[in-house]
Structure 1
């Protein structure tokens, strides 16, 4: 099979490497790919941007591509799956309508409410004055979310009225998210531990993947500003059988009911961002694609053929499919550029020793004149596997010494 994979991050490098394990896979065209996929034996980087839909379709037709796999949310929300399907090209991911579960916080919260998915109480606003008046009567802490896509940065946890007012101004007045924050969702703050549960659906069946735990803040101890994610452990030690059962009954099952009732065309990944509280599991958000850096950890534990799993979703055969997992733990430590999530240098040479290459997945790195250099804030993930979480941590952190670039920064407490 010839596969076209859209995206250029660590998630896409992980997906490419996993799909390449399948004996069915001949070639993976990475659009545009990165410095990691450039070195994968079955991969070819193609210089097309992720939202150039017509170019993607033309390339698929010219190169007899069998399947399109979409990594990031933006092309999904822009309807790339619908566009491919209309041209007779198989594509893995939700339709444009279904992708609104991530594309609009208000849409997703209304969906949750309609189908009884357990989530935090909320109100949505398009008028700054109305939102401010609501905050004046609210209890703190409180959460403010930009309604649209904000590259993972549109969520504010506000401890008091002043910080909430600043967050509102950034979203609605100063428009820091370029339109995505003109509408906001204000919701109650939930105290607990977060969990990420990815799953695959064909619109009739959902199969959950092994759970994961992301570490969002830049500094050890969960301090400092939020990032795209500084590391992940999988499975998440807080997702006990009791928590998992609660999730399946009150979140995942009711989500599937909603997908069926709304007649969503959904053959793809659903990512559930969950908060585990003293009162049970609550859904924070949907993502309509795999998470980054969760994917790097979760796929490293998958024993099943991922390409066959994708085909089962497209053929609506997930009810006859079992996903197999290694009986191990995965620890993923993200190495970032010094200064991230603020300003940072790019173009710094990355040196990865041969013995560590199979444990490294590139995120913000590109090939320039045959040399791998940094191109983003989160540069790469170093993965460790082990029979225990402690062993997985040890393997990951031992491997970090085999990876170097100027000013590399990482948290020391991933999985502690």
Structure 2
């Protein structure tokens, strides 16, 4: 990301408690501690409590991992999926998901409790800005290294007081935003994915979208995300 000039948060990698404590004190609260590995979307703790942040870091160390500690990015979050064929980038419709488990944005982070699209409140030109400053530079950088990226680039973004910043990249569709976004897509998805695989996204038709809104709501087991109950019937 640094080589591509992609705007993101300042961050430090910590491998032990002392390094974690130093990084937390450097950036200050709210503290952002990320498990530096696959965590099914639940490896991040955002808290004002320094001890809670240290405890999450220590749990990652105890499991043999490392953590990434970042400066907190203020502002609303937005998810944007971008189809890539190694050269060309085609954005889908931006969506917003809600990661904390309880109402009023409270409780622990989850893999996502729901999402909606379109975002009528989003700044005009947001999608083009993300293509110009985030997605296309990333794809160009990958191509310049001889490792062209073909697939879905999931851009997790924060619209901060200092401008748009990348929170995370995933190289896949994301749950639960995908369910809402694809519900509105009228252009055949299969044709778009085939064009991406063949390096022909520059020839793809302009995307067509339903004018309706789409909302996805997640039904989760009791005690999710910590120790979800198993083999229980849903009341939904």
What TM-score comes out, normalization by structure 1 length?
A: 0.54
CA distance in 2, matches of 1:274, 1:345: 32
CA contact 1:272–1:285 (8 Å) conserved in 2 = yes
Query: Which residues of 2 match residues 101-116 of structure 1 at below 5 A?
Result: 112-116=1-5
Q: Secondary structure at the match of 1:201?
A: strand
What residue number does 2:13 align with? 124
Q: Which structure is higher in RCO with an 8 Å CA cutoff and minimum separation 6?
A: 2
Q: 1:321 to 1:341 in 2, by over 3 A?
A: same
1:307 corresponds, among 190, 196, 201, to: 190
1:284 corresponds, among 142, 164, 167, to: 167
Q: 1:316 to 1:137 in 2, by over 3 A?
A: closer
Deviation at 1:214, TM superposition (A): 0.3
Query: Highest CA radius of gyration, 1 or 2?
Result: 1
Deviation at 1:164, TM superposition (A): 2.3
Query: Which residues of 2 match residues 39-58 of structure 1 at below 5 A?
Result: none
Q: Secondary structure at the match of 1:259?
A: helix
Deviation at 1:348, TM superposition (A): 4.2
Query: Which residues of 2 match residues 11-410 of structure 1 at below 5 A?
Result: 112-172=1-61, 174-175=62-63, 179=64, 182-322=65-205, 323-349=207-233, 405-406=234-235, 408=236
CA distance in 2, matches of 1:163, 1:346: 27
What TM-score comes out, normalization by structure 2 length?
A: 0.92
Gaps of 5+ in 2: none
CA distance in 2, matches of 1:123, 1:210: 32
Give CA-to-partner distance per residue, 1:297-356, whole Å, 9 cap, x none: 11111111111111111111101113222222111112222332244443345xxxxxxx
Q: CA RMSD in A?
A: 1.8
CA distance in 2, matches of 1:255, 1:274: 14
CA distance in 2, matches of 1:136, 1:348: 43
Q: Secondary structure at the match of 2:155?
A: strand
CA contact 1:204–1:256 (8 Å) conserved in 2 = yes
Give CA-to-partner distance per residue, 1:205-234, whole Å, 9 cap, x none: 010100111011111111111111111101
Q: 1:224 to 1:306 in 2, by over 3 A?
A: same
